[in-house]
Chains A and B, each alone.
Chain A
Amino acid sequence: MNSRQKMALGLVLLACLILPWTAGEFYVNLVSQILIAALFASSLNLLVGYAGLTSLGHAAFLGFAAYVSAWLYLKMGWTHEEIAPVALGATLLLACVFGWISLRATGLGFLMLTLALSQVLWGVAYRWVSVTDGDNGLRGLTRPAPFGLDLEDPMIFYYFALVVCLIALFLMVRFVQSPFGAAVRGTRDQARRMSALGYDVWTIRWLVYVYAAFWAAVAGLLYIYYHKYIHPTSLSLTSSAEGLLAVIAGGSGTLIGPIVGAAIVVLLKNYVSAYVERWNMLLGFVFVFIVIFMPEGLVPGIRRWWGKLKGGRA
């Protein structure tokens, strides 16, 4: 990271820190939602961008962690402190099984298997009314108070989500820059060659799948803490597609891209929808614009345009 990038990162962090003191509650909540979506999109980016495995079922892990958390809290009377590790562990187990099934194939086959598995989970959430309350969803939760911090306060929740996201992003960056991260990119670019070099391609992909699911589960916990409500749509195809849209629109295989993409999706969904009734159409137009003019995604696309601009001036 060069000095200019460090300065930009510092400014972004500073803006994040002072945001609750300068913006109203609506915007604080909006950015909290962006943080959750950014964490989810970044976890999906590990699969799509770095491992070359496009999934249409990643929301299954966000939704499953949220459902386990809500169910244990509401139906079993557990505390949030007890629930969090159990929900993460249960989601990891699910990811181990889903990964084992999905990675029987790659490419389109993998895409369809992830979609099918997430749709199974969605169907269960809809139909197993005694556990999930079906279409009504699970409601009536409270936010936890870790270390005496009452997350019911939007500002405190925002800072909590910010810290969790920063830790997650740091570990994801480390993951990508590690020897294992290099191996993951290798399996994306030349899987056959990687096998010939001694890498166990299937296991590498499976581990990335499980690791990405873990961070989606963390996003799921933040999601349930924020909304205090979970509905089957949270693990539906639409939710998975929104995550994928964020990754592709922002720029897959980049660290900043999915965060920018998630911000666009959340802003359009929450902010623009207040003014434009057919905001989904607008989201579609934005996506089409990005795909046509910046097929590599917004962040790499802007970087390319900026390079051209500088080259033209020189």
Chain B
Amino acid sequence: MSSPALEVTRLRKSFGGLPVTQDVSFSVMPGERRLILGPNGAGKTTLFNLITGDLRADSGSIKLFGTEMIQMGVHQRTHLSLARTYQIITLFNKDTLLQNVVLSLMGLSPTRWNAFSKLMSYQHFEQEALRVLTLVGLDRAAHRPVSDVAYGDKRMLEIAMAMAQKPKLLLLDEPLAGLSKEERVRVSGLVASIPRETTVVMIEHDMDTALELAEKLLVLHYGKVIVDGDRDDVVHDERTKEVYLGS
């Protein structure tokens, strides 16, 4: 049996005296689609931030394909093939969509340290960026500034930037938030098309769409894991209904 793509063990984090992540343990197998559920304030995004290194854990262990990451910085974890999107879109608004993807591609390349050659001379980055944008249907807007495109396209671009790095583990933080019905169909189609080589862990409040995408669920409540298992089991679990689905 292969080792988990992501293995979180007894993870703890407190803000002052307030515990926000309490002994969280779970594992995600390679290729799995995992949905993290929980009411507002359950600690879902905090958990993502702990996994990516945006927040430092007080204690515990986070392993990516068996490699301990707990002491690593954000960029070091990215180089272990971890990518993420943000709940609040964070893109380079003045740059074009193409430049955004090029920046993403360069992030894992030693070229990023080159201070003497012109960026324009690296044609292969642009070609690859255009290929990625074509895959997500944004090639028509490749040369437009990010600030000029629709919100849904920005969401698509965020995912495209993450996918451009060909990550082994992708964390999607509410990828459908704030989208119209049509945009949701486009973005969920894109998420569904992510190849199985990439393990996906997702936070999403749009239950209907998210449950279609996920095979396993993890329910957080007040920073604790209360249910963890297969989709149908978790959805029908009384504790899930009590804290999240109501009734």
Contact = CB atoms under 8 A, between A and B. Distances in A.
Given A190-B90, A198-B165, A180 B115 contact: yes
Nearest to B118: A177
B10 interface: no
A100 interface: no
B186 to A, nearest CB: 22
B79 A198 contact: yes
Contacts of A175: 115-116
Contacts of A182: 99, 102-103, 106, 119
A178 B115 contact: yes
Contacts of A200: 73, 75
Given A175-B115, A189-B94, A197 B120 contact: no
B179 interface: no
B183 to A, nearest CB: 21
A181 B95 CA distance: 14
A179 B126 CA distance: 12
Nearest to A180: B115
Contact of B116 (A174, A189, A194): A174
B196 interface: no
A178 B78 contact: no
B114 A199 contact: no
A273 interface: no
Interface residues of A, number: 25
Contacts of A194: 103, 107
A180 B103 CA distance: 10
B75 A195 contact: yes
B193 to A, nearest CB: 22
B238 to A, nearest CB: 37
Interface string B81-95: 001101000111110
B117 A179 contact: yes
A196 B84 contact: yes
Nearest to B99: A182
Contacts of B14: none
A180 B91 contact: no
A289 B83 CA distance: 46
A197 B90 CA distance: 11
B112 interface: yes
B91 A190 contact: yes
A233 B136 CA distance: 58
A192 interface: yes
B107 A197 contact: yes
B92 A189 contact: yes
A178 to B, nearest CB: 5
Nearest to A201: B75
A195 B90 CA distance: 12
A194 B54 CA distance: 12
A195 B73 contact: yes
Contacts of B161: 197
A284 to B, nearest CB: 31
A200 B73 CA distance: 9
B240 interface: no
B15 interface: no
Given A197-B107, A198-B108, A179 B92 contact: no
A237 interface: no
A177 B165 CA distance: 23
B52 interface: yes
A186 interface: yes
A189 B146 CA distance: 13
Interface of B: 52-54, 73-75, 78-79, 83-84, 86, 90-94, 99, 102-104, 106-108, 111-120, 122, 161, 165
8 contacts: A183-B106, A186-B92, A193-B86, A194-B107, A197-B104, A199-B75, A201-B75, A207-B115
Q: Which 6 A-B pairs have the closest CB atoms?
A: A198-B107, A197-B107, A195-B74, A180-B115, A198-B78, A193-B90
